[in-house]
Amino acid sequence: MTTKTILGYPVETIMAMQQGTHKPALVPLTPGRIVPSQYEKSEWSRMAQDAYAKDRNDTGHKFSMAATLAKGESVALSWFDALQTEYREWLIGGFPGK
């Protein structure tokens, strides 16, 4: 059985939102910090594996560590932005050869 979704939310959740009975989990927001998603952490892990395969251990260590952040753990926005910039460069062009 598949769950029907609207914009990635289960239909039951959308209906509860409309009826005002949905109680979302509250995540305290801290200025200058962000909580990476599981998808981002999975992508960082994928990048770390590629870095290790290309003998770029410093990059592999950095992204491997980032991928192991605990669920809900926040990081500095500046650190996240730098990591995402490096990730996007890798996604577009890979690692340049040595």
**Within-domain flag for 77:** yes
pLDDT in tens, the chain (98 residues): 566 766 666 767 666 666 766 565 555 667 888 999 999 999 999 999 999 999 999 999 999 999 999 888 889 999 999 999 999 999 999 886 55
CB 60 within 8 A of CB 52: yes
Alpha helices (H) in 1-98, listed in sequence order: 11-19, 38-53, 57-67, 77-93
**Within-domain flag for 23:** no
**What integer pLDDT is reported at residue 12 of this predicted model?**
73
**What integer pLDDT is reported at residue 71 of this predicted model?**
87
**What integer pLDDT is reported at residue 85 of this predicted model?**
94
Total domains in the chain come to: 1
Q: How many CB atoms lie within 10 A of CB 44?
A: 23
**Within-domain flag for 71:** yes
**Within-domain flag for 22:** no
Domain span at 76: 28-93
**Within-domain flag for 7:** no
**What integer pLDDT is reported at residue 2 of this predicted model?**
63
**Within-domain flag for 41:** yes
